[in-house]
Amino acid sequence: MRDAVYLVAPDLAIKIVSSFDTAEALNAEVMMFLQSGSRQVWVVYPSFYPMKSMCVYSLTPELDLYARVLTENDTLNGADVLPGITTPIQAIFRNSA
């Protein structure tokens, strides 16, 4: 199908934050994915930040933004996007420098 455009959002988007990312750009990117139909967005803050952590964003059924901050003592749950998938946050950062 030549010249066809498909507008498809992934169920899950993952953003690994770099030192060049601004808060405004991160917020815009998260909202772009969610408003386009992504069910979850994971924002990972690697080891160069004060605390290794990640934020899990989604929209509630009422279309309100839901955000959960996970730190090294928490467990990431794939919920309905990746059913049955769980992993300790520590494991995600185990090999980071």
> Max alpha carbon distance in the chain (Å)?
50
- The number of domains in the chain is 1
Q: Is the pLDDT of residue 4 over 80?
A: no
In degrees, rounded to 5, the angle at the alpha carbon of residue 53 between the alpha carbons of residues 50 and 58 is 140
Q: What is the pLDDT of residues 32-80, one digit of tens each?
A: 999 999 999 999 988 666 678 899 999 988 989 999 999 988 999 988 8
Return the structure tokens found at 94.
């185990």
- Domain range spanning residue 63? 12-93
Domain for residue 3, yes or no? Answer: no
The CATH number of whichever domain residue 65 belongs to comes to 3.90.1570.10
Domain for residue 1, yes or no? Answer: no
Return the structure tokens found at 93.
């950062």
Domain for residue 7, yes or no? Answer: no
